[in-house]
Amino acid sequence: MHLYPSSLAALIEALRKLPGIGPKTAQRLALYLLHAPEGEAEGLAQAILDAREKIFFCSVCGNLTDTDPCELCRDEKRDRSLLCVVEWPRDIIAFERTGEFNGVYHVLHGVLSPMDGIGPDDLKIAELLKRVSKGDIKEVILATNPNVEGEATALYLAQLLKPIVPKVTRIAHGLPVGGDLEFADTATLSRSLLGRQVI
Amino acid sequence: MLKYLYLNNFRNYENLEFMPEEKFIIFTGANGTGKSNLLEGIYYLGTGYSFRQARDENLVRFGSDYFAISGIVSCAGVDYKIDALYQREKKRKIIKINNKRVLPGSCSSYLPVVIFSPQDLILIKGAPSVRRRFLDLLVSQLKPQHSKDLHYYNNVLLQRNKQLRSIKTTDADLFPWEKQLSSLGARIWKRRISVFSQLIDYSSEVFASLSRGRILRGEYKFQINGIKESDDLAKLQGLLLDALQKARPNDRKVKFTTVGPHREDFCLYLNDHEARLYASQGEQRLISLALKVGQYQLLSLEKRAEPVLLLDDVFSELDEKHRVLVLDVMKKGSQVFATTTASFKEEYGRRKALTSHITMVYPKNF
ipTM score for this prediction: 0.77
Residues of chain A with CATH 3.40.1360.10: 61-198
Which CA distances in Å does A136 have to A76, B200, B266, B289?
Answer: 15, 60, 55, 68
Q: How far is A47 from chain B (nearest CA, A)?
A: 36
Express each pLDDT in B292-313 by its tens digit.
999 999 999 887 788 999 999 8
Instruction: Say yes or no for a CB contact (<8 Å) between B172 and A159.
Output: yes
CATH says A6-54 is which class? mainly alpha
Please list the pLDDT of chain A residue by residue as tens digits (199 residues). Answer: 467 888 999 999 999 999 999 889 999 999 999 998 888 999 999 999 999 999 999 999 999 999 989 999 999 999 999 999 999 999 999 999 998 999 999 999 999 999 999 999 999 999 999 999 987 899 999 999 999 999 999 999 999 999 999 999 999 888 888 878 887 777 788 778 877 888 8
Which CA distances in Å does B265 have to A86, B193, B230, B284, B300?
Answer: 41, 11, 19, 17, 25
Domains and CATH numbers, chain B: 1-112+306-366 (3.40.50.300), 127-301 (1.20.1050.90)
Q: At residue A194, what is the residue type?
A: L
Which CA distances in Å does A170 have to A152, A160, B229, B356?
Answer: 12, 14, 32, 63
| Interface membership of B186 toward A (CB under 8 Å) | no
Residues of chain A with CATH 1.10.8.420: 6-54
Nearest to A142 by CA among A193, A101, A83, A188: A83
Which residues of A lie inside 8 Å of B (Cβ-Cβ)? 112-115, 119-120, 148-149, 151-156, 159-160, 185-187
The whole-angstrom separation of Cα A61 and Cα A74 is 11
Nearest to B108 by CA among B80, B66, B87: B80
Q: How many helices (H) and strands (E) does chain B have?
A: 11, 15
To the question of domain A61-198 being in CATH 3.40.50.2300, the answer is no
Are A175 and A181 spatial neighbours (Cβ–Cβ below 8 Å)? yes
One-character DSSP codes across B17-50: EE--SSSEEEEE--TTSSHHHHHHHHHHHHHSS-
Instruction: Say yes or no for a CB contact (<8 Å) between B176 and A151.
Output: yes
Express each pLDDT in B218-268 by its tens digit.
999 999 988 988 899 999 999 999 999 999 999 999 999 999 999 999 999
β strands within B190-264, DSSP E: 216-221
